Amino acid sequence: MAGGAGQMGINYYSDPHVRARMLEFAGGGCADRLTCRFLTSADLTGARGCVRRRPAELARLWDEGGELHRSLWDRKALIAHLGVEYVNFDSPAEPYLDPERVLHLIHHVDWAVEAVLLDYGIRPLHLLVGPAHHFVWRVRRASPVFAELASLGRPAVPSQRRYSPPRTRGLDEVAAEWAAAHVGLGRVVEYVAHRVRELAELVGEVPAELSVTESGPARHEPEGVSIDLSAYSDPLHGRTLCLPFSLYLQPWRRGLLNCGTDPARLRPMFAVPVLGMQPREGLEIPRDPARVLSLARHAETRIPDQSKGTEHLLAAYRESDWYGFHAWFYS
């Protein structure tokens, strides 16, 4: 896999359906009209780095054949993200060596995310990226709830230093209202994460924690599930999302093949939308290039507008204890 990943990516990315699905997720029907602010590409070695590229350069990135990402920062909408991932710091290769077991351990948290969001009428795009599940939706800039989120997050944006032009590396400066809305959205998504954890604990076999950064003996638990909120600990221009149907190269980029891992057990992997897959399909399809290409023919990867549902979610958050806690904590 490692030696031929670049060429395989180049050939794979020539498929018109794969390209169309990536364009949808990046915010447009063609590369010069994408709404994402930038793209990145990473190869197996990391030698190329994750240099930010203009959206119009997407065709060039396809030709390079790496793992492709879009910015969380968008021109027309605030992108909401909640991730779920199995973590085991004692054995980081575990999700790739025994994916069936890991899927069994994490499934209850995925179910809880969808159940909690549906309470507010939010139906996100559900992506499977390696062993991690990502739930993504958008809030239109022109929607009333965007302004409410910006108002909610504005008091915490003396951290404007993190949004200064030198940190954006040649991009436009992030406007204050966008920075504030990102902060406000983070508080609301944290409320969702706490609800998810409470629901998941009723049926789960392993603990679910918010943004787990440590596992193993120090936690007295050999493994766990992380409900990932880390997108909101960084400035809006600091995070990216893997494009659906991108190659997924993390096992190799993280050096797991150098940790006693048998290369034959790590087949090529692709990021895919879940689209009601059965658990077994979620294990098989991302590792089968032919089935991934077939899925790309009919899958929907446009990030759904869930502004109205987010409005309902914000109203529930304001009635919760977390709203009062955040008001005190960030005052």
The residue range of the domain holding 258 is 5-74+240-280+289-296
Question: How large a percentage of the chain has pLDDT more than 90?
Answer: 58
Residues 17 and 109 in one domain: no
Q: Residue 74: which pLDDT band, with cuts at 50, 70 and 90?
A: very high
Contacts of 97 (CB under 8 A, 6+ apart): 261, 265
Contacts of 202 (CB under 8 A, 6+ apart): none
Most confident of 67-76, 260-269, 280-289: 67-76
Give the span between the Cα atoms of 321 and 146, in whole angstroms. Answer: 22
Residues 106 and 164 in one domain: yes
Residues 244 and 229 in one domain: no
Residues 173 and 91 in one domain: yes
Concatenating the DSSP letter of every residue in 176-244 gives: HHHHHHHHHHHHHHHHHHHHHHHHHTTT-SS-EEET----BGGGTBS-EEEEE-GGGTS-GGG-EEEPT
Residues 137 and 206 in one domain: yes
Residues 211 and 244 in one domain: no
Output the CA angle 264-40-73, nearest 5 degrees: 130
The pLDDT, as a whole number, for residue 263 is 45
Residues 103 and 180 in one domain: yes
Looking at the 3D structure of the chain, how many domains does it have? 2
Residues 131 and 263 in one domain: no
Torsion of the alpha carbons at 26, 29, 32 and 38, rounded to the nearest 10: 0
Residues 311 and 191 in one domain: yes
For residue 59, is pLDDT > 70?
A: yes
pLDDT tens-digit readout, 149-203: 999 998 665 555 566 654 545 567 889 999 999 999 999 999 999 999 999 988 7
For residue 249, is pLDDT > 60?
A: yes
Mean pLDDT (whole number) for 269-284? 88
pLDDT tens-digit readout, 304-324: 999 999 999 999 999 999 999
Helix (H) or strand (E) holding 114: helix 99-119
Residues 18 and 157 in one domain: no
On average, the pLDDT of the chain sits at 86
Residues 104 and 229 in one domain: yes
Give the span between the Cα atoms of 26 and 38, in whole angstroms. Answer: 9
For residue 266, is pLDDT > 60?
A: no
Residues 65 and 127 in one domain: no
Instruction: Report CA-CA distances (Å) from 248 to 28, 128, 244, 277, 312.
Output: 22, 10, 10, 19, 35
